[in-house]
Amino acid sequence: MTFDPFGDFETQGYLRNFANEKDLEIVRRLEHTSFASGLPEAFARLADVDVIQYDHVLETHRILFDAIYPWAGQDRTQTAPDLAVSKAGVLFAHPQDIRPAIEYALKHGQDRAFMSAKVGEVMGYLAYAHPFLDGNGRTIMVIHSVLAQRAGFSIDWARTDKTEYLLALTRELDTPAKGILDRYLQPFTARPIAYERLGDMVLQTPGLAGVLGDANIVLGNNSDPELRARYEHQRMTRRRD
């Protein structure tokens, strides 16, 4: 099933991309070209930021994907405020919960001690938020890499295994803050690399360009009683003292 939150795939192509392209293999290539081209500017902009905030996450996505999507830099509260979005069985944050989840990750990700000890928990909250219709993994990889570098380490993403990482991430999303993704990522942490090399490091991440069949799906309207119950369960699971 094609991910079509706007309901105009046949006339506007996948997610209203500028080329009106419907072939997802071509779209993935266009996405990756836009992403790779925007990486230097994205990292340069973040280098000038003292405290990374929610708007900087939006700006990072805009820089990385504005060559392909007219809505780049807009979160789901703007692009799909009424829709429940899922991927591989994972229900992502209700649009109203996106910003709080990102802000939790940014607050703790900019605490050196917390980030060093719970690098996976920070990534898990960024992934759970899933603020954009597409390009989430690549955007949060950039943000997370900067947070790690500021905390005094880097993650050697080239050594990670895509399947094992996604399994650990899925378990982290199901049972957050239990150390699942922390334990997976810790063996890949190392001394921080030069900031100018972060883009090259990110590009070496296995499977970063995306594959066919791993797209989001629309589960329905987020006011549906069953979905509302699932969202409430998520909130209870993630409620922090």
Structural domain contains residue 87: yes
What is the model's pLDDT at position 2? 86
Residue 214: pLDDT over 70? no
83-87 and 217-221 as β-strands: parallel, antiparallel, unpaired?
antiparallel
Residue 2 belongs to some domain of the structure: no
Residue range(s) defining the domain that contains residue 22: 9-238
User: Span 52-62, mean pLDDT?
Assistant: 98
Q: How many CA atoms lie within 13 A of 191 on its CB side?
A: 1
pLDDT digit string (tens) for 107-162? 999 999 999 999 999 999 999 999 999 999 999 999 999 999 999 999 999 999 99
**What is the rounded distance in angstroms from the CA atom of residue 206 to the CA atom of residue 162?**
6
Q: Which of 98, 100, 195, 112 is CA-nearest to residue 146?
A: 195
Number of domains in the chain: 1
- Statement: residue 32 has pLDDT above 60: yes
The answer to whether residue 93 sits within a structural domain is: yes
Output the domain CATH number for residue 58.
1.10.3290.10
DSSP secondary structure string for all residues of 93-140: PPHHHHHHHHHHHHHHHTSHHHHHH-HHHHHHHHHHH--SSS-HHHHH
Q: Which of 129, 57, 127, 121 is nearest to 93 (CA)?
A: 129
Residue 226 has pLDDT above 60, yes or no: yes
Predicted pLDDT at 208: 74
What integer pLDDT is reported at residue 240 of this predicted model?
63
Angle 160-164-166 (CA atoms, 0-180°, nearest 5)?
Answer: 100
Q: Does some domain include residue 4?
A: no
Render pLDDT for 161-199 as a digit per residue (tens, 0 to 9): 999 999 999 999 999 999 999 999 999 999 999 999 999
Q: How far apart are CA 226 and CA 228, in angstroms?
A: 5
Bridge partners of residue 171, in order along the sequence: none
The mean pLDDT value of the chain amounts to 94
The model's pTM: 0.95
Is there a contact between 172 and 181 (Cβ–Cβ < 8 Å)? yes
Nearest C-alpha neighbor of 108 from the set 96, 120, 122, 94: 122
Sorting pLDDT into bands at 50, 70 and 90, what band is 71?
very high
Q: Is residue 184 part of a domain?
A: yes
Q: How high is the pLDDT of residue 211?
A: 45
- In angstroms, the CA 198 to CA 154 distance is 9
Question: Measured over all CA atoms, what is the biggest interatomic distance in the chain, rounded to whole angstroms?
Answer: 50
Q: Is residue 18 part of a domain?
A: yes
pLDDT mean over 88-96: 94
Say which amino acid occupies 121. Answer: E
Kindly state whether residue 189 falls inside one of the protein's structural domains: yes
